[in-house]
Structure 1
Amino acid sequence: MSRRTRRVVPAVVAGLALLALGAWAATAALGHLLGQDPTGTAGPLARALAGAPWQDPVVVAAGAVLLLLGLLALLAALLPGRRVVLALQGAGATGPRAGITRTGLRRAVAAAAEDVDGVDRADATVRDGRVEVRARSGLRDVGDLRARVEQAVTDRLAAIPLARRPRVQVRTTTTRSDA
């Protein structure tokens, strides 16, 4: 299973640009049918650009910016997005497709860390083959808390049959001050 994120922002930008271009074209066509100058609908910017030479630094800079924006939009459309669903063991092209969402895995790992004695709050992040856990404790001396949280998270991950086992990174902090 390999569901990936949707490319919403590039799609919205492209859609709005096409909508604006279509609206301008429709207005210009209507103006042409009514006997008006089609460049009049574009306003003073179009008239200024129509008279500018190609070597003008403003025209070259505007072209470079538009080229860069176009390349970024093309890359965003062609490159795959981040995986939303992580595959479970046995889920493949021939077998049934099954997976767990990043959010589900993150919540399961954070809950396992919060179940450890001494942990007040835990947050987890799932990214690029690793799980990062941040555990906060009100204890003055956290001692072996990091090792216990890491063991609890590793045990929880072992109970979830992921196709690729992520690495576990744990950080512990204390919220208590000695003052």
Structure 2
Amino acid sequence: MKRRPRRSLPAALVAVILLAAGALVAVTAVQMLLNEPTWISYDQAARTLHGLLWTDTPVLAAGIVAAALGVLLLLCAVVPGARTVLPLAAGDTAIDSGASRHSYRGTLRAAADVDGVDGVKLKVRGRSLTARVRTERTNTTGLAEAVEHSLAHRLDQIAPARRPAVKIKLKAARSQS
């Protein structure tokens, strides 16, 4: 179970652009059928486009922009995004199970909130879990180990298919003396 995100943003952008272009063409066609003044003059557009050569700067610029957008959309379709569901260990059963990235991070954030911790920011990336722990204590002896032990215990309970390496970065208040 390795669900990946949908590519809804690029698809929505392409759909909106095509919808706007189609609506503009449809409105212009209806205006021409009703003998009304058109938003875009067909004759003027045809004359302008007929006068252009393949080597003209506007044609080259439009080609480069179209090619770049095509490559960008192709990369959005081909390159996989970050997993939205992280697989859990199968254990004794053959049932696939997973946890959403949001709930996984939330559960680990709650586990890292041990006594003396004022704030926690977690980053889950591939095979690493980085916890940035903020505390107002001036003596932080043993706090990083307590957070690491708590996170390790919670990871044992969750049992992810690929256990991340835990890194703790502690930021403490400065001494008042």
Q: TM-score, normalised by structure 1?
A: 0.83
Query: Counterpart in 2 of 1:153?
Result: 151
Distance 2:103 2:42 in 1: 50
Report the number of matched residues. Answer: 176
Distance 1:10 1:165 in 2: 32
Q: Please tell me whether the aligned partners of residues 130 and 169 of structure 1 are also in contact (alpha carbons under 8 angstroms).
A: yes
Matched, 1:18 2:21: no
Once the 2 structures are TM-superposed, how far is the Cα of residue 80 of structure 1 from its aligned partner?
2.3
Once the 2 structures are TM-superposed, how far is the Cα of residue 36 of structure 1 from its aligned partner?
8.1
Once the 2 structures are TM-superposed, how far is the Cα of residue 127 of structure 1 from its aligned partner?
1.6
> Which consecutive residues of structure 2, in runs of 5 or more, have no partner in the other structure?
none
- Amino acid corresponding to residue 165 of structure 1 in structure 2: R
Query: Counterpart in 2 of 1:105?
Result: 104
Once the 2 structures are TM-superposed, how far is the Cα of residue 121 of structure 1 from its aligned partner?
1.4
Distance 1:43 1:150 in 2: 72
CA RMSD of aligned residues (A): 2.9
SS in 2 for 1:140: coil
- Amino acid corresponding to residue 69 of structure 1 in structure 2: L
1:168 to 163, 166, 169: 166
Residue identity (%) = 38
Q: Please tell me whether the aligned partners of residues 138 and 175 of structure 1 are also in contact (alpha carbons under 8 angstroms).
A: yes
Distance 1:88 1:43 in 2: 63
Matches within 5 A, 1:51-130: 51-90=51-90, 95-115=94-114, 117-130=115-128
- Amino acid corresponding to residue 61 of structure 1 in structure 2: A
> Which consecutive residues of structure 1, in runs of 5 or more, have no partner in the other structure?
none
Once the 2 structures are TM-superposed, how far is the Cα of residue 145 of structure 1 from its aligned partner?
2.0
SS in 1 for 2:159: coil
Q: 1:43 to 1:103 in 2, by over 3 A?
A: farther
Q: TM-score, normalised by structure 2?
A: 0.83
